Structure 1
Amino acid sequence: MTDVLVIGAGPAGAFAAHRAADLGARTTLVACDEFGGMAANDGPVPVRTLAHAARLVREAGQLGRYGIAADGFRLDYPRLLTRVREVVDDVRTHADLRGSVDGSGVTVHEHAGMTRFVDPYTVETGRGLRLHGDAIIVCTGGVSRRLTVPGAELTHTHSDAWALREVPPSMLVIGAGATGVQVASIFAAFGSRVQLFQTGPRILPSEDEGVSAVVAEAFRERGMVVRENLDAIESFDRTPDGVRTHFSRDGVSDTTEAALVVVAVGWTADTAALDLAAAGVETDGRGFVRVDAYQRTSVPHIFAAGDVTGRLMLVPQAAQSGFVAATNAVRGPELPLWDQVSPVGSFTDPEYAGVGLTETKARQEHDVIVATVRFGAAARPIIDGRTTGFCKLLVDRSTERILGCHVVGERAVETTQVAAVAMTARMRVKDLARIPLSFPTYSAIVGRAAYVAARRLDPAPTGHPYEPPC
């Protein structure tokens, strides 16, 4: 007998299974493929590995500036993919979470094949397993959304891009959200001639407008073709050297060609094989599983967590929702998913990251102080030869609380965590400014921005120990 059956072994499913077992429930975790889900096998882990290789390529180009003689280098892409697989295997095998799941007594079925509901309490897997759960938590994640235009079968997803045997001479990436810009940036560093298409007015549409502008400019300076404000992608057809894309902009039809076309236009719930109707589970208008604040679906004993719900689709948030779903599956609806400070970012060149409100949204509801420090005026980026970018803090004038932080530049993703911690602790910006952050570091740039904001709040402060360098 199983008290809690978890479907899917990504971050949401793994945390849900561990939490349920930790609360004393007899727990079974069933995975279609490998433990770790998309995050470990097709998402942040392999992507970050490729992005690290792209960083090494970029840094190798700076060796001469630092007096280091190099006889040249070349990218061995098959060897890089071997390294990606090594990293994925190491993370999957040695990650603390896997050990915690195994150590808590969870029964784990990997490579079980696609799982479908037989009835509200029973599922069957592609491998023939028939499993029952008094409570069930659906954590099947998401899949790339595909275009539905003529010739769309000639295009690829980001997953296909990671599995290439060689770097294509040219690439068109359609969709300039987080996934699209990562694919474009990585393969541009590897030597592909990259075009990046966006139907909206700017790339990275969910980020601060300043972030979008600086990243787009940096991409163009590196030779990437960035086209925004497209009307539509109309069709694709095969050419001797790749794929021709038909599109329109400002009412005018045009075409472009590339050896490979990657579509990154969004993410949808991976529920096609589940037969949710057999369990009575409802989805919303976008096809995601509908859940309440306790992660309950329309069926009280069935819960859902992670990307399958369509909420902020990031690893930490998926893990938190899995924890909440499991808690309520075992104890009943007692723990709602809490509001959270959620930093986001991407390992592009340059990196970008943000947490909290964008400047546009902040100004709609607050009297905002904006403090910006350029990377070209900070010691560590100058030392590293990586001066593109900025750090922007948004502060509410009346409460002195940080509303948002947006960073473009080297180590932006990690730098933004400083602001995220300060926001979670509800620190006043002048308190952050007083912390003597190490010098020269990227984190110190956040401290410098906090000092600039604090001085604008109080031009003649008392009790300020020093003006922090950055």
Structure 2
Amino acid sequence: MNGSENMDVVVIGAGPAGLLAALRAGDLGARTALVTRDALGGMAAHDGPVPVRTLAQAARLLRDARQLGRYGIAVSEPVLDYARLLTRVREVAGEVRARAALREQIAAAGVIVYEHAGAARFVDPHTVETQRRLLFRAEKFILCSGGVSRRLPVPGFDLTATHSDAWSLTTVPPTMVVVGGGATGAQVASVFTAFGTRVQLFQAAGRILPTEDEDVSTAVAESFRQAGMVVREDFGAIERFEEAPGGVRMVFARDNLRDSVEAALVVVAVGWTADTSALNLAAAGVETDSRGFVRVDAHLRTSVPHIFAAGDVTGRRMLVPQALQDGFVAGSNTARAPMITVADEVCPIGSFTNPEYAQAGLTEAKARQTHDVAVAVVRFDTTTRTIIDGRTTGFCKLVVDRATRKILGCHVVGERAVDLVQTAAIAIAAGMRVDELAHVPLSFPTYTGVLGRAAAIAARQLQVDVDRAPIAELLCRQDGAAGP
């Protein structure tokens, strides 16, 4: 061993959960070490939201450039230099790691950071060693090792690629099959369609984006098809992958009818599992659930009282904002008493596909199970800002409880959907009534103003007096909309 460190808290993994867990524990006075296999930032910085959003920005710029002629700006047809784009992706990821990964705050909190330490494993319940022969003893641990793409038990699976492989390609493939129509698969399919790849998106379930509101799934699928993507929902079951002259062939069957499809690259994005194989959890006595995720209670404590877990490794909500919340809770609970619990708060979710889609709160179907609801929908082809920008695909949908007038859910497809839903999430978290949201004089013409207009329509449906909301009411009349 290269010596050992005795700490109060050791955080394993430096993604969003690990970064905030270490910062919180350090702020509370615990002697804290942050140990990471590679560099700070984790999947979010290296092959998750940061590089994905950078690639999506390139796709957006291509799309924007193609409509410049509508605004009297003469330019030649844009051409993608993929090698240069990858350089930009690396630049952005490096800048985020250097400037936005809480480095300065973590250092100021007295946290000792061990980057590129290699995989960590438990020797016993209070001792961890790494591949670089670093040894740590601690009173408490926080597991933030993240997740990895789920593998399929299908012959020839090794011929396929993951979303991480897709982001690291050196050239744009001419053809691609994407298996899995959830958030990750949809992003891969959308980005490479924009780059000129002929993409086929396969989804085993009856619709892509199955966790989204059904209207969102329908609208995104239709937009994908209009962009030239082939979307095959309820396609059956995969029998095998095999080599083909042009790349990889996927053989599948539905209702005893066999079919196949070939592409230069097959990307499989069918879920996420905990990255725990190297941790040697058995040596610490840490239990996992039936899906392989680390089992935690409401305090994020594992089956071993002095070991906590946060972020993707728990399998709860595998998103950056929720990982940050988990990190705060776990860091607090390892460094102080009384302990706090994770809150089941509104969770805004969105994706930078073309078109974007996003949600906050309950879907319409889920809300109708326990509530009498009113639904207001504003189409993007009827709103001023979207018409100005030439981005008229999509809609904003509000789901409201009739009895309390509380906003239960917001679902958006279209330009700036992810940003728009953040405002709705704040309103839901604050317990605002829909008429109260309609009273807010949001700026005109803006994308957020579409939300105010939907709120005014919902309020009228509920026969709530909106005379105190002259701007929202004016927007409804000016844009030619009326409540159902």
Residue identity opposite 2:417 in structure 1: A
Matched, 1:64 2:69: yes
Give the equivalent residue in structure 2 for 1:336.
341
Matched, 1:201 2:206: yes
Q: Deviations over 1:154-199 (max 9, x none)?
A: 0000000010010000000000100000000000000000000000
Q: Secondary structure at the match of 2:239?
A: strand
* Shift in alpha-carbon separation, 1:390–1:104, aligned structure 2, 3 A: same
Residue identity opposite 1:379 in structure 2: T
Give the equivalent residue in structure 1 for 2:3.
none
1:370·1:395 contact (CA, 8 Å) conserved in 2?
A: yes
Rounded to whole Å, the distance in 2 between the matches of 1:333 and 1:83 is: 46
Give the equivalent residue in structure 2 for 1:117.
122
Give the equivalent residue in structure 1 for 2:155.
150
Q: Which runs of 4+ in 1 moved over 6 A?
A: none
Deviation at 1:250, TM superposition (A): 3.3
Matched, 1:422 2:409: no
Give the equivalent residue in structure 2 for 1:127.
132
Q: Deviations over 1:93-136 (max 9, x none)?
A: 01161211122111000000011000000011011101111100
Q: Deviations over 1:290-323 (max 9, x none)?
A: 0000000000000000000000111110011111
Give the equivalent residue in structure 2 for 1:387.
392
Give the equivalent residue in structure 1 for 2:369.
364
Q: Deviations over 1:299-357 (max 9, x none)?
A: 00000000000001111100111111111111245201112111001000000000000
Give the equivalent residue in structure 2 for 1:451.
456
Give the equivalent residue in structure 2 for 1:187.
192
1:294·1:333 contact (CA, 8 Å) conserved in 2?
A: no
2:122·2:280 contact (CA, 8 Å) conserved in 1?
A: yes
Residue identity opposite 1:450 in structure 2: A
Give the equivalent residue in structure 1 for 2:174.
169
Give the equivalent residue in structure 1 for 2:26.
21
Rounded to whole Å, the distance in 2 between the matches of 1:372 and 1:439 is: 19
Rounded to whole Å, the distance in 2 between the matches of 1:331 and 1:164 is: 46
Q: Deviations over 1:388-433 (max 9, x none)?
A: 1000000000001000000000000000011101111111100100
Rounded to whole Å, the distance in 2 between the matches of 1:150 and 1:366 is: 46
Rounded to whole Å, the distance in 2 between the matches of 1:285 and 1:332 is: 31
Deviation at 1:464, TM superposition (A): 3.7
* Shift in alpha-carbon separation, 1:384–1:402, aligned structure 2, 3 A: same
Matched, 1:250 2:260: no
Rounded to whole Å, the distance in 2 between the matches of 1:46 and 1:98 is: 19
Aligned CA RMSD, in angstroms, stands at 1.0
Matched, 1:84 2:89: yes
Matched, 1:297 2:298: no
Rounded to whole Å, the distance in 2 between the matches of 1:45 and 1:353 is: 18
Query: Normalization by structure 1: what TM-score?
Result: 0.99
Matched, 1:226 2:231: yes
Aligned with 2:445 (options 429, 437, 440) = 440
Matched, 1:93 2:59: no
* Shift in alpha-carbon separation, 1:23–1:235, aligned structure 2, 3 A: same
- Range that drifts further, 187-196 or 60-69: 60-69
Give the equivalent residue in structure 2 for 1:284.
289
Rounded to whole Å, the distance in 1 between the matches of 2:141 and 2:281 is: 12
Rounded to whole Å, the distance in 1 between the matches of 2:409 and 2:78 is: 41
Rounded to whole Å, the distance in 1 between the matches of 2:264 and 2:225 is: 20
Rounded to whole Å, the distance in 2 between the matches of 1:16 and 1:215 is: 36
Matched, 1:241 2:246: yes
Residue identity opposite 2:461 in structure 1: R
Rounded to whole Å, the distance in 2 between the matches of 1:307 and 1:459 is: 43
Rounded to whole Å, the distance in 2 between the matches of 1:452 and 1:320 is: 34
2:22·2:106 contact (CA, 8 Å) conserved in 1?
A: yes
- Range that drifts further, 351-360 or 434-443: 434-443
Rounded to whole Å, the distance in 1 between the matches of 2:83 and 2:152 is: 29
1:138·1:303 contact (CA, 8 Å) conserved in 2?
A: yes
Q: Deviations over 1:343-379 (max 9, x none)?
A: 0010000000000000000011001000000000011
- Range that drifts further, 233-242 or 7-16: 233-242
Residue identity opposite 1:219 in structure 2: F
* Shift in alpha-carbon separation, 1:250–1:445, aligned structure 2, 3 A: farther
Query: Which structure 2 residue ranges, 5 or more long, are not aligned?
Result: 1-5, 480-484
Q: Secondary structure at the match of 2:470?
A: coil
1:433·1:468 contact (CA, 8 Å) conserved in 2?
A: no
* Shift in alpha-carbon separation, 1:282–1:461, aligned structure 2, 3 A: same
Query: Normalization by structure 2: what TM-score?
Result: 0.96
Identity of aligned residues (%): 66
Deviation at 1:458, TM superposition (A): 1.2
Deviation at 1:460, TM superposition (A): 5.4
1:230·1:250 contact (CA, 8 Å) conserved in 2?
A: no
1:436·1:468 contact (CA, 8 Å) conserved in 2?
A: no
Give the equivalent residue in structure 2 for 1:347.
352
